[in-house]
Amino acid sequence: MSESSSAAPPAAGARAASMTRRRWTASQVARFKPVLFLLCLIPFLRWFYLGYNDGLTANPVEFITRSSGFWTLAMLLLTLAVTPVRQMLDQPALVRVRRMLGLFAFFYVVLHLLTWIVLDRNMDLSSMVKDVLDRTFIFVGMAAFLLMVPLALTSTQGWMRRLGMKWTRLHRCIYAIGVLGIVHFWLMRAGKNDFAEPILYGTLLALLLLWRIVRAWRNRRRSAAV
């Protein structure tokens, strides 16, 4: 877009641009969304590519289960990264990609859950109940999934409007979902005594959450000073 969408007179606009960086407009960000959509779909399409090329290892069910779990976590972390990135770059319009990333996290978690229901538990309800109760890591994973459902359902513009401030509070659940996701991954890897990956993603999550805590604390101090 050649012209600034700012309503301010040109002189003021120029001064603002020199002080901050040029801000992307909502429609500029929206134009990037189809590209992002396809990027987020690549992990899913890759399974079909690997499936046709004998690349899903000797245990394809395990491969798909782990891959869908990994991409759920990756999408969750990306969703949580939107706010820090848009504030650090001073690009508020980036919030426009957040819902899509969050819904992709939900897309991958649904596939992850389906592998467990259909391929691992063979759709046997009693064995699912038993598995959730017997295995801490399944319990934690299920709790994280259940928390994601209301967030996905209320992700629409309409629900945002209807819930108002309550929407913001409800969607803070994603912090708990992130922590449960890491715990789930950690407990799963405990069998291998190999925590390199859970530590890596746990650290990323901790940084994303810490950033919010520090910012909230600074804002409070600033408003107290005023």
Partner 1 sequence: MPLRPRYPRIPSSQITPEPVWQARRQWMQQMAGIAAGTGLAGLGATLPQVAGAADTLPPIAGMQPNPQYAAAKIDRKLTTEKDITSYNNFYEFGTGKGDPLDYSGKMRIEPWQVQVSGEVEKPRTFDLDELVKLAPQEERVYRLRCVEAWSMVIPWVGYPLSALLKQVQPTSKAKFVQFVTDTQPEAMPGLSDRIIPWPYREGLRMDEAMNPLTLLTFGLYGKRLPNQNGAPLRIIVPWKYGFKSGKSIVKIVLSETMPDTSWVAIAPSEYGFYANVNPDVPHPRWSQSHERVIGGGFFDPKVPTLKFNGYGEQVASLYGGMDLRANY
Residues that bind partner 1 (CB under 8 A): 50, 54-63, 66-67, 69-70, 118-120, 122, 130-131, 134-137, 187, 190-194, 196-197
Minimum CB separation from partner 1 for residue 110, in Å?
18
Closer to partner 1 at the Cβ: 94 or 180? 180
Nearer to partner 1 among residue 36 and residue 61 (C-beta): 61
CA distance 103 to 107: 6
Per-residue DSSP letters for the chain? --S----S-HHHHHHHHHHSPPPPPHHHHHHHHHHHHHHHHHHHHHHHHHHHTT-S-S-HHHHHHHHHHHHHHHHHHHHHHHHHHHHHTT-GGGGGGHHHHHHHHHHHHHHHHHIIIIIISTT-HHHHHHHHHH-HHHHHHHHHHHHHHHHHHT-SHHHHHHHTHHHHHHHTHHHHHHHHHHHHHHHHHGGGT--HHHHHHHHHHHHHHHHHHHHHHHHHHHHHH-
Residue 129 beta carbon to partner 1: minimum distance, rounded to whole angstroms = 13
What are the tokens at 160? Answer: 């945002």
Minimum CB–partner distance for residue 1 and partner 1 (Å): 36
Nearer Cβ to partner 1, position 58 or 225?
Answer: 58
Check residue 156 and give left, alpha or beta (phi > 0: left; psi -120 to 50: alpha).
beta
Closest CB to partner 1 among 23 and 184? 184
In the complex, least distance from residue 42 CB atom to partner 1, rounded to whole angstroms = 13
Instruction: State in angstroms the smallest separation of the CB of 212 from partner 1.
Output: 26
Nearer CB in complex with partner 1: 70/159? 70
For partner 1, which is the closer residue by CB, 66 or 171? 66
CB of 71 to partner 1, least distance (A): 9
